[in-house]
């Protein structure tokens, strides 16, 4: 009977680990396992970047209109702001989609963007599918996710 409980504990522990790796967001966290089998849109933005400011409403719309199980939309502050400074800029820019606390480029294996704005599209296996440089629209992002 003791062996049964040890096996059950091992299975439950393994099941708990299968939820994946947490990833920090402003105001909470997500889990990378939840990102699998969905397109992921990672938008790099900065307050000083005029085209970034222009495209924010497009990403807000894409985030708001994404169906359950649809693409994940997240942002990354290019300047690496943290805490209250980051929250203040998010509010000033009217960003409604989640913002990552850390730049995920090392986690997903791509270089730091050299031009702004830049949007990274990940496939369902969380591999880089496409790198889009320049301002985007909800339509251009949807097209990139589709192929």
In a domain, 128, yes or no: yes
Dump the DSSP string for 38-88: S-EEEEEE-TT-HHHHHHHHHHHHHHHHPPTTS-EEEEEETT---HHHHHH
| Separation between Cα atoms, residue 39 and residue 126, nearest integer Å | 8
Write out the chain's pLDDT in tens, 147 residues: 444 333 333 333 333 334 478 888 888 888 888 999 999 999 999 999 999 999 999 999 999 999 988 999 999 999 999 999 999 999 999 999 999 999 999 999 999 999 999 999 999 999 999 999 999 999 999 999 998
Q: Which of 109, 122, 27 is nearest to 71 (CA)?
A: 122
In a domain, 3, yes or no: no
Judged by DSSP in three states, 23 sits in strand
Range of the domain at 116: 20-146
DSSP H/E element including 119 = strand 118-122
Domains: count for the chain? 1
In a domain, 12, yes or no: no
CATH number of domain containing 61: 3.40.30.10
Judged by DSSP in three states, 4 sits in helix
Instruction: Provide the whole-model pTM.
Output: 0.84
């Amino acid at each position: 009977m003791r062996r049964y409980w040890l096996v059950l504990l091992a299975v439950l522990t393994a099941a708990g680990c299968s939820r994946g790796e947490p990833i920090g967001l402003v105001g909470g966290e997500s889990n990378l396992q939840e990102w699998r089998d969905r397109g992921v849109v990672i938008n790099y933005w900065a307050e000083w970047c005029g085209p970034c400011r222009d495209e924010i409403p497009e990403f807000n719309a894409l985030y708001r209109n994404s169906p359950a199980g649809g693409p994940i939309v997240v942002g990354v502050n290019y300047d690496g702001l943290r805490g209250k400074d980051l929250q203040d800029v998010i509010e000033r820019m009217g960003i409604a989609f989640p913002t990552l606390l850390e730049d995920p480029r090392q986690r997903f294996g791509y270089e730091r963007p050299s031009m702004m704005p830049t949007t990274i599209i990940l496939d369902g296996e969380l591999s880089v599918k496409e790198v889009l440089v320049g301002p985007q629209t909800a339509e251009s992002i949807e097209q990139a996710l589709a192929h």
